[in-house]
């Protein structure tokens, strides 16, 4: 039967479609392997459903294992979506386009990879890499917040993902811990470092692809920027959602550090945004010993006016992030003064701004070594304590379902060798100069680093 999703898809999206059959309780995919003669039979991959690992309003996510014929992956997460035509169809065509775009090798460090998709007359199935370590929300809840050094490493990787999306003209629109999957994380018994990937492109949007009119929910309430609460299905948003991505990142960082969010309900977000005299909610950050640079970074991203928030390039130049790059060439890091204060945010505690900013960035992240991790995580960070009595402070622990999040990974280090360090420096220089083409070229040049784990869908 003809699938609703087959119409009007781009050629690159069609290339990811899997030829699919069903045998008993197995899903079977047929492949024409390029390294076999034309007369050779098609290779068959057989997959068996293990269990449901997530549910949402229109979808569920199933863990499957390959029982025969697999080449690159032995497990996968399959997102099954009910198609209802109209807006639902357009939304998931858009999601397919975004996830295919960012499944390219050049982006595989930063985004959950699509292995392929298939469809029936009523359902769309997206097969993606699986992350046994789970999502960041569950990990933070289990550990009641993470040390600042861990959070900074994660933030730098998320900024790299945001930079890739924004450079390519996309906004994610639903950045939150539930949509951040853990490839690896530090552990005293292993050499693993933090490596996270951004997933769930369900409401991502191509910037400039028509008016910024919202016809559906944009993001998750606790992580939504205040300007998004002003719009309804008939109104046009004056910004292009990239500023909203930075707000969501700020809320996510706050949660990682404190196991809480600064605003419990939309009304609290709006109250903070509308009252310029209301102090920034820093009590819980101070309780957990977050440095002044760390607090300043969060304040920058949580500016009420979207036009005054830093973009990804400015955020990557913040002192809190730049502390990860002590070996960056002086000609790069000192080419012009930092435009976001190295010690204090240019946004005061009352929410007012001081001065302008210009763009500078790097598209890389440098993990903490195991020795550094052991020293900082176990010696410098005392056991986490219960937060102070909140009073009028709006931070509360989050209790959200993770229905649209699936989990999975391949155990490998997110480590940089000397070649990667040099590449990172060149990426930094290209973004300092505002050379978008140069950034794309360098991302292509670095793609070889990920090819050993890439799964090409044929």
> Per mean pLDDT, which range of 39-43, 166-170, 335-339, 432-436 is the poorest?
335-339
Can you tell me the distance from the alpha carbon of 210 to that of 182, in angstroms, rounded to the nearest whole number? 34
Residue 342 domain-assigned (yes or no): yes
Same domain, 72 and 187: no
CATH number for 69: 3.30.200.20
- pLDDT tens by residue, 381-390: 444 554 443 3
- pLDDT tens by residue, 101-160: 899 999 989 999 999 999 988 899 999 999 999 999 999 999 999 999 999 999 999 999
Residue 96 domain-assigned (yes or no): yes
Q: What angle do CA 295, 429, 254 make, to 5 degrees?
A: 15
Element (H, E) at 27: strand 26-31
Report, as an integer, the average pLDDT of 296-300: 97
Residue 448's alpha-carbon distances to 382, 420, 433, 445, 452, in angstroms, are: 40, 11, 25, 7, 8
Q: How many beta carbons lie within 10 A of that of residue 158, not counting itself?
A: 27
Question: What is the domain extent for residue 402?
Answer: 136-447
Q: How many beta carbons lie within 10 A of that of residue 450, not counting itself?
A: 15
> Per mean pLDDT, which range of 218-222, 252-256, 305-309 is the poorest?
218-222
Same domain, 174 and 280: yes
Q: Are 100 and 12 within 8 A, CB to CB?
A: yes
Percent of the residues in the chain that have a pLDDT greater than 70, as a whole number: 61
Can you tell me the distance from the alpha carbon of 265 to that of 270, in angstroms, rounded to the nearest whole number? 9
Can you tell me the distance from the alpha carbon of 39 to that of 21, in angstroms, rounded to the nearest whole number? 21
Q: Are 127 and 40 within 8 A, CB to CB?
A: no
Same domain, 122 and 177: no
**pLDDT score recorded for residue 388:** 46
Secondary structure class of 396 (helix, strand, coil): strand
Can you tell me the distance from the alpha carbon of 370 to that of 153, in angstroms, rounded to the nearest whole number? 13
> Per mean pLDDT, which range of 17-21, 126-130, 347-351 is the poorest?
347-351
**pLDDT score recorded for residue 94:** 76
Residue 454 domain-assigned (yes or no): no
Measure the N-to-C terminal CA separation of the chain; round to a whole number of Å: 22
- Tell me the chain's radius of gyration from C-alpha atoms: 22
CATH number for 224: 1.10.510.10
Where is the domain boundary, 128, 156, 188?
A: 128
Same domain, 119 and 198: no
Where is the domain boundary, 94, 128, 162?
A: 128
Q: Are 245 and 205 within 8 A, CB to CB?
A: no
Q: Are 124 and 61 within 8 A, CB to CB?
A: no
Tokens of 320: 């809190």
Backbone angles phi, psi at 400, to 5 degrees: -115, 150
Q: Is the pLDDT of residue 362 over 80?
A: no
Same domain, 171 and 88: no
Q: Is the pLDDT of residue 410 over 90?
A: no
Token look-up 């973004």 returns 431
Same domain, 416 and 328: yes
Can you tell me the distance from the alpha carbon of 103 to that of 99, in angstroms, rounded to the nearest whole number? 6
Q: Which residues, at least 6 apart from 407, have a Cβ–Cβ distance to it below 8 Å? A: 53, 77, 130, 131, 132, 133, 134, 135, 181, 182
Where is the domain boundary, 100, 128, 156?
A: 128
Backbone angles phi, psi at 321, to 5 degrees: -85, -40
- pLDDT tens by residue, 418-455: 555 565 556 555 554 555 566 556 555 554 444 433 33
Q: What is the mean pLDDT of the chain?
A: 74
- The reported pTM is 0.71
Can you tell me the distance from the alpha carbon of 156 to that of 175, in angstroms, rounded to the nearest whole number? 14
Can you tell me the distance from the alpha carbon of 148 to that of 140, in angstroms, rounded to the nearest whole number? 12
Same domain, 150 and 272: yes
């Amino acid at each position: 039967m003809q699938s609703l999703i087959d119409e009007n898809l781009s050629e690159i999206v069609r290339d990811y479609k899997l030829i699919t059959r069903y045998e008993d309780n197995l899903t079977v995919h047929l492949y024409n392997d390029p390294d076999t003669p034309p007369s050779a039979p098609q290779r068959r991959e057989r997959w068996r459903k293990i269990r449901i690992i997530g549910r949402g309003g229109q979808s569920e996510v199933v863990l499957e294992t390959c029982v025969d014929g697999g080449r690159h992956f032995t497990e996968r997460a399959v997102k099954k979506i009910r198609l209802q035509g109209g807006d639902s169809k357009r939304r998931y065509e858009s999601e397919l386009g975004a996830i295919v775009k960012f499944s390219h090798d050049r982006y595989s460090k930063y985004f959950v990879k699509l292995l392929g998709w298939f469809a029936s007359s009523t359902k769309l199935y997206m097969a993606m890499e699986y992350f046994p370590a789970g999502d960041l929300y569950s990990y933070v809840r289990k550990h009641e917040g993470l040390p600042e050094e861990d959070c900074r490493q994660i933030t730098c990787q998320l900024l790299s993902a945001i930079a890739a999306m924004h450079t390519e003209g996309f906004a994610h629109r639903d950045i939150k811990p539930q949509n951040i999957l853990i490839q690896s994380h530090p552990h005293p018994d292993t050499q693993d470092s933090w490596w996270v990937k951004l997933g769930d492109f369900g409401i991502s949007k191509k910037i400039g692809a028509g008016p910024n009119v919202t016809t559906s929910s944009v993001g998750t309430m606790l992580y939504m920027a205040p300007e998004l609460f002003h719009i309804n299905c008939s109104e046009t948003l004056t910004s292009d959602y990239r500023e909203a991505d930075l707000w969501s990142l700020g809320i996510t960082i706050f949660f990682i550090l404190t196991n809480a969010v600064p605003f419990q309900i939309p009304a609290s977000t709006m109250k903070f945004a509308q009252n310029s005299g209301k102090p920034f909610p820093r009590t819980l950050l101070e309780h957990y010993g977050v440095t002044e640079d760390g607090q300043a970074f969060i304040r920058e991203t949580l500016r009420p006016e979207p036009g005054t928030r830093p973009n990804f390039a400015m955020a990557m130049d913040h002192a809190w992030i730049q502390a990860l790059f002590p070996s960056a060439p002086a000609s790069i890091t000192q080419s012009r003064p930092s435009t976001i204060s190295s010690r204090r945010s240019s946004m005061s505690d009352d929410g007012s701004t001081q001065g302008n900013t210009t763009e500078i960035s790097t598209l890389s992240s440098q993990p903490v070594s195991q020795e550094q991790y052991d020293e900082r995580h176990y010696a410098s960070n005392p056991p986490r304590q219960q937060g102070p009595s909140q009073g009028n402070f709006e931070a509360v622990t989050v209790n959200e379902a993770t229905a649209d999040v699936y989990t999975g990974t391949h155990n490998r280090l997110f480590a940089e060798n000397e070649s990667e360090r040099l590449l990172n420096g060149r990426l930094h220089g290209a973004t300092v100069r505002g050379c978008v083409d140069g950034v794309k070229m360098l991302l292509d040049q670095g793609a070889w680093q990920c090819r050993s784990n890439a799964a090409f869908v044929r």
